[in-house]
Chain A
Amino acid sequence: MSASLDKGINALKQQVDATVAAFFSSCVHCGICAEACLFYTETGDPERTPINKTEPLRRIWKSEYTLMGRLGKLFGLGKKVDDKLLADWETLVYDSCTMCGRCSMVCPVGNDITLMIRKTREGMAAAGHAPEGLIGASKRSVTIGSPMGVKLPALLAQVRHVEEDTGLKVPLDVVGAEYMLLLSSMEIMNFPEFIGAIAKIFDRANVSWTISTEAFEATNSGIQIGVSDIAAELVQRIVDAAEKLRVKTVISPECGHAYMAIRWDGPNLVGKKFGFKVRHVLEVLDDLRQQGRLKTSGMEKGKLTYHDPCQISRRGGVIDEPRRLIDMVSDNFVEMPDHGKMNWCCGAGGGVSANERADEIRLKVFQRKKDQFDAIRPDAIVSACSNCRIHLEDGLEEYNMDIPLLSLTEMIAEHLAGDDRAGAA
């Protein structure tokens, strides 16, 4: 119980760097970022303007790192950061932001507002102003190993089911395997078919892979609550396991923030380059496709579209791979208006879905996705993030829309060529 305002302010001070300074210096209050944020467009609440969410960070930058701001501070002028500000900003920084990155794409002066909101969370959390749901998830992640409290026995139980269903072995703790697969708790508990799909595909493609029983959790609550120290601890577990098993590549599964956490933030959190590669499962599948090791047969019936998970597409760089994979099994693929790196967030990432207080607004902003779906009326929506999937299903149900949500990996697995050989050991 030792969060404090001082710690929060110090954290914000640490977070200011050249990028933050350049961004705040350039903001001209044009408000265009609001029009890119579904939490504004679907609520009309100007407080939810992305750049406004960074106000605590801005005040610290101004008063600590600018000449005029420092002079102002000397004379008691200038706006301060206090508990009231942070308390008022909690629902803006956490409940109304998934760190989807759309604002960063449209700001005319080039501000990466998402980065600044991420940095603002460091101060909020250290000062004790993070949402209860995220605090709980972080505690569980650190003490149990999973934000949802999924322990090893639960994983092993699912693994057994998968092995029964597929007739394939799921390799555990194999030293020297090429790939080490991570799994999000969401997948383990709600979509274990994913594990089966991976087993099938890797078996057919002759991929050497494994899952570590010491570090299988992909979800990183530290990233969501915005505490690098906690995020680093969680990443280190994966690093230790990958080094112990001497794998060449760690695979991030169909989970949004997990990819950002391990692929792009990971080495910077632990302060060291990784001795192994990190790839998203879609990147691995696309590689296999390129090498001719992934053969499919048959086409999906019906019109498909792809929902780009923000942390994988726009923030992650895996944009073309899913489309190349979909092309293998569909000749009726339609892009949503605003697709690819400009796709709209589902509304549940960045810790929003772990925050019960945000349930109402999360469902409200689904309207944005609904409008996208309504424009093209797909027969099925493909995606590659279980969190998006759960939330989109919630939203579709809320609006009585009967459109199935498909996992891309699972879809590929269903179309593996020579499926009759699946039974062979």
Chain B
Amino acid sequence: MTEIELLNWARGPGLQIATIIFVAGVVIRIIEILMLGRKPNLAEAKGSEMSAGLKTMVSRTVPDRATFKRSSFTITAGYFFHLGLFITFFLFAPHILLIKDVIGFGWPALPTPVVDAFAVITIISLLAVLVNRLTNKVMRYLTNFGDLLTWFLTLAPLITGYIAFHRIGFTAPTLLAMHILSVELLLVVFPFTKLMHAFTLFLARWYNGAISGYRGVAS
């Protein structure tokens, strides 16, 4: 297979396979969660579940001061790389073309040099995140193979994307194919790992807010 054929496979059948596994995995897991249901709460409510749940879905994004002080590196590095991932994926012109092709609409892009800079920041953040994970006592205790695997799968598209854009090391079709394949690998493994939090955290935060809100506490 020539490198162009590999690239076209990645852009075609490869992406189809990855999409199938990704979509199936995510949908099945979410339905698995929801269908377990909750027992109805028979106590007298002090607040509204729905509005509290919705609030927490957003408010939990902002840590309280004391917690931030105690976990400032974890939180800061975490935000840097999440923001960076968002910017490099959703606000880069070639990616928006891809998204537009799949969902039918797009949006304006950030200037490419800005995205390029954020890619570097994101890569550095992810490296910092790994160092933190391996040196922080608590994280080291909690860390398992899945954590390391997902870290690698998240970093790979960033690095392959960066070198594809800057055309470092291999010929262009190979670089681009590697980038697209790394994303497909991420998609395929996604539903089987903690990366599901990208979807389930909204459920979790809602439940948290709802449970507390029922009792009149904004969590």
Contact = CB atoms under 8 A, between A and B. Distances in A.
* A contacts B directly (C-beta below 8 A): yes
Contact of A23 (B34, B63, B75, B207): B207
B36 A108 contact: no
B196 A26 contact: yes
Given A25-B197, A26-B197, A110 B207 contact: yes
Interface string B116-143: 0000000000000000010011111111
Nearest to A21: B33
Interface stretch (A42-50, A212-220, A298-306, A412-420): A42-50
Given A21-B36, A52-B142, A66-B29, A35 B207 contact: no
A29 B194 contact: yes
Contacts of B28: 67
B44 interface: yes
Interface stretch (A160-168, A263-271, A326-334): A263-271
Interface stretch (B8-16, B66-74, B180-188): B66-74
B42 interface: yes
A268 B204 contact: no
A342 B66 contact: yes
Given A22-B204, A106-B63, A108-B60, A278 B44 contact: yes
A338 B67 CA distance: 10
Contacts of A272: 42
Given A19-B211, A65-B32, A115-B211, A110 B44 contact: no
Interface in B1-58: 28-29, 32-39, 41-44, 46-47, 56-57
Contact of A31 (B42, B71, B192, B217): B71
A31 B140 CA distance: 9
A194 to B, nearest CB: 24
A41 B137 CA distance: 12
A65 B147 CA distance: 21
Given A19-B38, A317-B216, A342-B66, A112 B211 contact: yes
Contacts of B207: 18-19, 22-23, 110, 112
Most chain B CB atoms below 10 A, which of A22, A40, A317: A22
A239 B70 CA distance: 44
Contacts of B70: 35-36, 41
Contacts of B37: 17-18
B205 A110 contact: yes
Interface in A20-63: 20-23, 25-32, 34-36, 40-41, 44, 46-47, 49, 51-52
A29 B60 CA distance: 17
B43 A22 contact: no
A16 B36 contact: yes
B74 to A, nearest CB: 6
B137 A27 contact: no
Contacts of A319: 217
Nearest to A30: B74
A369 interface: no
A337 interface: yes
Contacts of A200: none
Interface residues of A, number: 62
B174 interface: no
Contacts of A268: 39, 41-43
Contacts of A141: none
Contacts of B63: 32, 106, 108
Contacts of B41: 268
Contacts of B64: 105-106, 342
B142 A66 contact: no
A389 interface: no
A274 B204 contact: no
A111 B202 CA distance: 10
Interface string B139-155: 11111100100000000
Interface string A241-271: 0000000000000000000000111111001
A119 interface: no
B58 to A, nearest CB: 11
Nearest to A33: B138
A18 B194 contact: no
B138 A40 contact: yes
B71 A32 contact: yes
B157 interface: no
Contact of B215 (A26, A36, A264): A264
B201 interface: yes
Nearest to B41: A268
B47 A25 contact: no
A266 B43 contact: yes
15 contacts: A17-B37, A17-B38, A23-B204, A28-B194, A29-B194, A31-B74, A32-B67, A35-B67, A46-B138, A109-B197, A110-B57, A277-B44, A315-B215, A341-B218, A341-B219
Given A18-B35, A35-B138, A106-B63, 13 more contacts: A22-B204, A25-B29, A27-B197, A47-B141, A109-B204, A115-B211, A263-B43, A264-B215, A265-B43, A266-B43, A267-B43, A274-B44, A338-B66
Interface of B: 28-29, 32-39, 41-44, 46-47, 56-57, 60-61, 63-64, 66-67, 70-71, 74-75, 78, 133, 136-144, 147, 192, 194, 196-197, 200-201, 203-209, 211-212, 214-219
